[in-house]
């Protein structure tokens, strides 16, 4: 009990059902306290602390209303709160409880409806035991407002704290939903520092699932589960492996660009595919006569068959005979072989004396020491080639009929291109 130096009005009762001080009014305040210094106008103190159970002491003040607020506080200075709760013993500063409605409500016409500050623990902790309601809910009824805003700043710009943190042992740590018909995101992240190197959105996983997942539930074929957009100079999507820098299960379409595969530090640069379809297959290298200023392009040789070609030069002996040795896998790989012989440097006749057997064949000329240029081609007979024979002419799928791989070459407008045909479902 504090010590009073002046003559206060003191009332004391030992009765269980009586009160020490009672103020009652039909028109105004039942009790009003006025203080002209740093102390409270009305102060309630309870020093009863029974041995057990812990926390079973009395209330410093008890306020009850059957119609209005139980407690209302006004502050006429911008530096102090209308109602302040302080606990220096590790307990709760302000506690609100309701059986039917909200335990604590904060409302403001200019500033914050509620302000929560903690030096050690959470600034705000919300707990809900109802699976249909959130522990903390933020609602904004303005067109450009924010339901929940998290801000972390130490005033120097060096604090690497978290503005909003979500954690869950079973469900989503952070879940966002949007019912907006425009292109606004359910969850959005922005890196607003032009010189910053951090991501706008970051996902990390310590388990076997994906760090970031995009799922498209719409039936429109042009909708994107993940969309990357970048200004000039950057990459819309950047993958860095791991086992793979990117893994795609399904068709990959590149429009308005090209696929570039190159080595980095002597690693990579290869394309591995079961089949490659192209209107024009070329190699391109730095021009051997002017490598700094020109490129050199060559086209590949096409065939309606899976064909392998082998060639070389050989000179017959004094009897006009020569044996060409082929790779030891030749007969296992090739069937239905074709031959070409060309005599070089003189008029002579040359024939294939013995066809391929044991991965070799014999050449015979009617003169000795004749140089012969030879070429042998064979049709693949390996297991994959037998299981997937070449189909030279194919019908277009129904959605692609009437559209062209290269519409301009056939005198057709751009909207007759195959990319338009693949997106017909959107137009429908």
Q: Residue 118, by phi and psi: left (phi above 0), alpha (psi -120 to 50) or beta?
A: beta
**What percent of the chain has a predicted confidence (pLDDT) above 90?**
29
pLDDT tier at 425, thresholds 50, 70, 90 = very low
Q: Compare 292 and 33 and report the one with higher pLDDT.
A: 292
Measure the N-to-C terminal CA separation of the chain; round to a whole number of Å: 82
What per-residue confidence (pLDDT) applies to 130?
Answer: 72
CA distance 205 to 327: 51
- Maximum mean pLDDT: which of 10-24, 62-76, 275-289, 305-319: 305-319
Q: Residue 2: pLDDT above 60?
A: no
Q: Residue 340: pLDDT above 50?
A: yes
Q: Residue 150: pLDDT above 60?
A: yes
Q: Residue 105: pLDDT above 60?
A: yes
Q: Residue 369: pLDDT above 80?
A: yes
Q: Residue 278: pLDDT above 90?
A: no
- Maximum mean pLDDT: which of 55-59, 207-211, 251-255, 323-327: 323-327
Q: What HEC string does 172-237 produce?
A: CCCCCCCCCCCCCCCCCCCCCCCCCCCCCCCCCCCCCCCCCCCCCCCCCCCCCCCCCCCCCCCCCC
Q: How many CB atoms within 10 Å of residue 359?
A: 15
CA distance 237 to 259: 14
268-277, 280-289, 379-388: range with lowest mean pLDDT: 268-277
What per-residue confidence (pLDDT) applies to 410?
Answer: 95
136-140, 375-379, 385-389, 393-397: range with lowest mean pLDDT: 136-140
The secondary structure of residue 122, as a DSSP letter, is: -
What per-residue confidence (pLDDT) applies to 233?
Answer: 75
Radius of gyration in angstroms for the set of CA atoms belonging to the chain, rounded to a whole number: 43
Mind giving me the DSSP string for 223-238?
A: --SS-----TTS-SS-
Mean pLDDT computed over 146-157: 70
The secondary structure of residue 295, as a DSSP letter, is: E
User: Tokens representing 300?
Assistant: 């590949």
Q: Whose CA is closest to 381, among 308, 322, 317?
A: 308
pLDDT tier at 235, thresholds 50, 70, 90 = confident
- Mapped onto helix, strand or coil, the DSSP state of residue 421 is helix
Q: Which domains does the chain have, with CATH numbers?
A: 307-387 (2.60.40), 398-423 (no CATH)
92-101, 225-234, 288-297, 347-356: range with lowest mean pLDDT: 92-101
What per-residue confidence (pLDDT) applies to 251?
Answer: 81
Q: Residue 412: pLDDT above 80?
A: yes
pLDDT tier at 15, thresholds 50, 70, 90 = low
What per-residue confidence (pLDDT) applies to 359?
Answer: 98
User: Tokens representing 369?
Assistant: 């020491």
Q: Residue 60: pLDDT above 80?
A: no
Average pLDDT, the chain: 79
* pLDDT tens track for 399-410: 889 999 999 999
pLDDT tier at 427, thresholds 50, 70, 90 = very low
What per-residue confidence (pLDDT) applies to 221?
Answer: 58
Q: Compare 180 and 6 and report the one with higher pLDDT.
A: 180
Q: How many CB atoms within 10 Å of residue 106?
A: 13
Q: Residue 411, by phi and psi: left (phi above 0), alpha (psi -120 to 50) or beta?
A: left
**What percent of the chain has a predicted confidence (pLDDT) above 70?**
69
- Maximum mean pLDDT: which of 85-99, 207-221, 381-395: 381-395
pLDDT tier at 84, thresholds 50, 70, 90 = confident
What per-residue confidence (pLDDT) applies to 12?
Answer: 67
Check if the beta carbon of residue 312 is closer than 8 Å to that of residue 374.
yes
């Amino acid at each position: 009990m504090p010590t009073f130096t002046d003559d206060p009005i003191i009332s004391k009762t030992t009765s269980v059902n009586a009160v020490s001080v009672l103020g009652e009014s039909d028109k105004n305040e039942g009790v009003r306290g006025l203080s002209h210094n740093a102390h409270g106008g009305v102060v309630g103190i309870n020093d009863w602390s029974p041995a057990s159970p812990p926390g079973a002491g009395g209330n410093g003040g008890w306020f009850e209303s059957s119609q209005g607020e139980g407690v209302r506080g006004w502050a006429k200075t911008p530096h102090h709160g209308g109602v302040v709760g302080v606990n220096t013993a590790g307990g709760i500063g302000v506690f609100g409880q309701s059986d039917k409605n909200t335990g604590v409500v904060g409302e403001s016409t200019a500033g914050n409806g509620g302000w929560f500050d903690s030096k050690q623990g959470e600034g705000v902790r919300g707990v809900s035991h109802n699976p249909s309601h959130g522990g903390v809910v933020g609602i904004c009824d303005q067109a450009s407002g924010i339901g929940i805003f998290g801000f972390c700043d130490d005033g120097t710009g060096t604090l690497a704290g978290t503005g909003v943190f979500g954690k869950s042992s079973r469900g989503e740590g952070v879940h966002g939903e949007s019912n907006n018909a425009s292109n606004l995101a359910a969850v959005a992240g922005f890196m607003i520092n032009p010189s910053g190197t951090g991501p706008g959105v970051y996902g990390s996983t310590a388990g076997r699932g994906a760090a970031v997942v995009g799922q498209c539930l719409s039936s429109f074929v042009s909708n994107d589960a993940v969309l990357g957009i970048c200004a000039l100079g950057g990459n819309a999507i950047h993958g860095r492996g791991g086992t793979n820098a990117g893994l795609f299960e399904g068709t990959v379409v590149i429009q308005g660009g090209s696929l570039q595969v190159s080595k980095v530090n002597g690693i990579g640069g290869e394309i591995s595919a079961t089949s490659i379809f192209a209107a024009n297959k070329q190699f391109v290298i730095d021009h051997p006569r002017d490598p700094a200023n020109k490129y050199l392009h060559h086209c590949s040789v096409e065939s309606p068959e899976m064909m392998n070609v082998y060639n070389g030069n050989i000179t017959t002996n004094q009897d006009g005979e020569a044996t060409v040795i082929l790779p030891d896998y030749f007969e296992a790989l090739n069937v239905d072989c074709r031959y070409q012989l060309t005599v070089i440097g003189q008029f002579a006749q040359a024939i294939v004396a013995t066809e391929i057997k044991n991965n070799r064949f014999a050449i015979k000329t009617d003169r000795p020491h004749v140089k012969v240029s030879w070429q042998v081609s064979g049709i693949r007979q390996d297991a994959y080639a037998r299981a997937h024979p070449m189909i030279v002419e194919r019908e277009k799928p129904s959605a692609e009929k009437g559209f062209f791989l290269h519409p301009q070459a056939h005198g057709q407008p751009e909207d007759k291109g195959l990319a338009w045909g693949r997106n017909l479902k959107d137009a429908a």
